[in-house]
A = this chain, B = another copy of it.
């Protein structure tokens, strides 16, 4: 039923090898034969079977992508960028949802291995030793997205988190704030550490001494409690949050308590998730351009797969501050 290379061979009078060469646009074959065979291919509606191809070449032109949560647009954009770049290069993407679970991630890696993917783009928040080992032992090329805390030299693409945090803080300082708080949750990720460090460095660079009381590292409820109990003159006049999701959460809680944003306290987030841009929120934030990320991750992975590069690469993109309403900056309108 399905048309194979041998059908094309028979009908065209050329051998399967030649047909194969035509398919792969080899320069071992004349322009004339290319035309003739090409015509037969069209006539028969022949489409090369990628599975068969993959078996003999040991390549699948497929890359795996493991993300914690597909429905989170943050990852959605990442996937979109990667998918587009992949498509342009004849690759397709198999998506797996790890649900933030490392055991599941390892299973996923093995699934991808059995499918002979050429490489994996990992967006695992908590990249640990067991994941690293699984990837390396199975000889699977991979690229990580996001900042990576690891003793191993690893390929990754990440935004410059330090720089992003600094831009946010610098902007707040320029708006006249001196008591700037940092609010995260109580889960101490490496990412959190980096952004907090950026916060500190920016303050120091502007000769503002760091007040430990302004670094809120408990869970959201406790942080809000602490904030509410502070004397007004002690309260921060601006808050930089670990990420946009948290910023939204904090804003919700603060507004419930009657705190006005940005009048009483300015807020700046990180990530620039879609929701941040919605008018009634207008969250000022640091854009880390997920889509571009996805694209770069794929490109790096492709270079690795094709053996264009031997060393590991750490690609750090520059973030951009998106000024909206919650920081209290005057809009140009």
Contact = CB atoms under 8 A, between A and B. Distances in A.
Interface string A110-142: 110111100000000000000000000001000
Contacts of A87: 96-97
- Residue among A50, A60, A62, A248 facing the most chain B CB atoms (10 A cut-off): A50
A188 interface: no
A64 to B, nearest CB: 9
Contacts of A54: 51
A51 B50 CA distance: 9
A95 interface: yes
A114 B54 CA distance: 11
Contacts of A62: 94, 115
Contacts of A51: 51, 54-55, 60, 115-116
Given A52-B55, A252-B280, A79 B92 contact: no
A94 B51 CA distance: 14
Given A94-B92, A114-B47, A275-B278, A80 B84 contact: no
A72 interface: yes
A291 B49 contact: no
A158 B111 CA distance: 31
A101 to B, nearest CB: 12
Copies in the complex: 2
Interface in A75-91: 75-77, 79-80, 83-84, 87
A95 B67 CA distance: 13
A280 B281 contact: yes
A311 interface: no
B60 A71 contact: no
Contacts of A291: 71
Interface in A225-253: 248, 251-252
A80 B73 contact: no
A274 interface: yes
A102 interface: no
A69 interface: yes
B79 A95 contact: yes
Contacts of A50: 114-116
B110 A47 contact: yes
Nearest to A137: B45
- Residue among A52, A70, A281 facing the most chain B CB atoms (10 A cut-off): A70
A281 B92 CA distance: 37
Given A51-B115, A92-B96, A252-B278, 13 more contacts: A50-B114, A51-B60, A51-B116, A55-B55, A69-B80, A70-B76, A70-B79, A71-B76, A73-B274, A83-B95, A83-B96, A87-B96, A278-B281
Interface of A: 1, 47-52, 54-55, 60, 62, 69-73, 75-77, 79-80, 83-84, 87, 92-97, 110-111, 113-116, 139, 248, 251-252, 255, 274-275, 278-281, 291
9 contacts: A47-B113, A51-B60, A70-B79, A73-B274, A76-B76, A79-B95, A83-B95, A83-B96, A92-B96
